[in-house]
Structure 1
Amino acid sequence: MMTLDRIYHAAFTLKDAVRKTDLILAPALSNENKVYLKTENLQMTGSFKVRGAYYKISRLSDEEKSRGIIACSAGNHAQGVALAASKNNIPSLICMPDGAPISKVEATKSFGADVCLVSDTYDDAYEKAVELQKEKGYTFIHPFDDPDVIAGQGTIGLEILEQLDDVDAVVVPVGGGGLISGVAAAIKELKPSCKIYGVQAAGAPSMYESIRAHEKKALETVDTFADGIAVKVPGDNTYELVNKYVDEMITVTEDEIAAAILALMEKQKLVAEGAGAVPVAAVMFGKIPRKNKKIVCVVSGGNIDVNILNRVITRGLIMSGRRTTLTIALLDKPGQLVGVSTVISRCGGNVVAVHHDNGDPNMAINSCFLRVVMETRDSRQAEMIQRQLAEAGFQLV
């Protein structure tokens, strides 16, 4: 089903249509391995998805093109299909979950597609797209479970080997599995010794659970802000290819993803969406069982909604120990706040918010809770501040 010839043909077709993204060294992301980033977040449309969509559309017959195109997507495939369709003068309709980031919806429209918003998740958008395809006769462009789409994504694997021929491991985000299927097929056929690791959000582990169970598993629900990989059921083709080529599946938590997004912004000056940051999260938090190796993380996309970016950064600061909230039980008398702030200042912390609560019915009449939000360098400094507050006689709740 998937051959190197097919992937090489995709690379030839795409050479003037997509960007060959840079592979950059990221020494600040790991002390245990030499980490490189494959920057698909800097791809046209901000995501790798344009590769598979463009190659698939290039392979359509004139009759298939004449019927128009329909697709379903949480956002990135939508933009890839919209761009490829417009370049080929084909009308396109994209079904998207109504929870998709507004930025992705508007970007899809800007590339010339019509958008149909569907209540709930990607899988509901998929069902709507299939329904409309049967009703109207559109040509359906699947976001991941299609050989041509997989071959297009596999061109990333060819580029990685060309850019770093002595790579030891490649870490790839996994939703439905189209990206990792193509990348793994290309790399394993050319360099079998290279390890391939797939990473999913812990709240949407459909491929992870399927590989563990040795059969395709469907999740009842998914719960992750990494909307690009929030898929309930892996594809038939992608499940088989992952089973054949991928060495291990891994999951990361929401907090770990947020910390990775923050690290990419601060240390590499790169903006990644949740799905794009999961490989980096796996490396940062020791989920990859390799040491002193050259590891490539595929940063699959950068289309993060600015409306949630602030929340993600805040969560990342908390996860990395740089934003800490303390609740302290105090006698409600003058001078207490001065005592607390003196300890924090002496330890080098910076208070950014204070909330005084003396209305809790469970506390004594002459007591209060003081909630202090502070900026710290790291977890060790936050722990030091807590110790010194306790030593000064303050009761931490």
Structure 2
Amino acid sequence: MTDHSSAPRSSHRFLAGLVSAALLAPVVSIPFLQSSVSRAQETPESRPTAAETDPDYAVPDGTPEEIMEFVEGLRTRKPKFGNQREALDHAVRTQRSFISAGDKILKQEIDPKTAAKAAQLKLGALTLLASNGIGDTATEAMVAVNQLKTDERPEVVKVANQFWTPIRINHLGALSDADRKRFAEEILKSVVDSKFARETIGMATQLGTKLASKGHAEEAGVLYDQLAKLASEAEDPKVQEAAKRFAGQGRRVRLPGQFMAIEGKQLNGEALDWSAYRGKVVLVDFWATWCGPCIAELPNVKANYEKFHDKGFEVVGISLDRSREPLDKFIENEEIPWSQLYDEEVQKDKGWNHPMAEYFGINAIPAAILVDKKGNVVSLNARGPELTKQLEKLLGE
């Protein structure tokens, strides 16, 4: 998934920093895992153990310097994969190796600075795996961070405290209704106390995402509403502008089961007639030609369009391109038959400025929203097999 970090410098790019800063700064990040690992689930029993499955991932015994040299080599390795499964296995095994490396270093007699780096390596990998739903790493991360918070070295405790909130967010499923409410209030208070620091706003938006993914859409919507109100009252104009997007995120997480209406100018200059799509199943696809994951998803959308179009399936693309020329060229080369919304007046050099992207709080693409024949949203993530599954359910195989 591509986020706002790809957008031009603007209030929307500022928002991207708010959303991502909380985890991307402290976490050991690998791009493939960020975009793809959430598609797979692994049980604790099935997760790879580096030392047992492949010597390439087995962390050697040695000094901290030797272990970190191995970590760096693994981090920069660029193997070729035969399929996505292999790439995913590599991503997970790599993070598992980082956890093992951190453990091995922490068990040695080392200086506080080295211990802090080892703690960051371990907690970063655990947080990344937990945030993508791999096995029971959310619980594993909670155990690890609680242990490190009691470490006798202040430098290690400082690192653990930095990971404390994101790890609790990943462990949200273990909280009661009352605890979730208190947690949200705590994070919103930190936003105000920090004077809208990127890290704290990033934590708040991440909590909203996690709440929605765990089936607490209304709680997520309330959180975004409160965040929007706080941001609108900030002194920083960029934070004030971001408030619009937060309010949009509140609308979007509440969409499932609700009517969705879109409007805008098509590439032919005519306004979209949304009422003409009533009685159809419609994929509202926020995308851009510069978005790699969007392009990777296109064959799947095309295949489903060919299979289900005659049964009543339509697609409406909403391009977040920065200029029209590459969009026109891409549509022609790919022979894309469905309607595209693009407003050159407001999107020139600021692709994220499309009114529908702002209204629905789109901060990462592709964002594929599926609407049924009555105009009600049935999925906020109609990509890959999920799109086919929903279409078979709504239109028949």
The alignment's TM-score, normalised by the length of structure 1, stands at 0.26
Between structures 1 and 2, the one with greater helix share = 2
Between structures 1 and 2, the one with greater strand share = 1
Q: Which has the larger radius of gyration?
A: 1
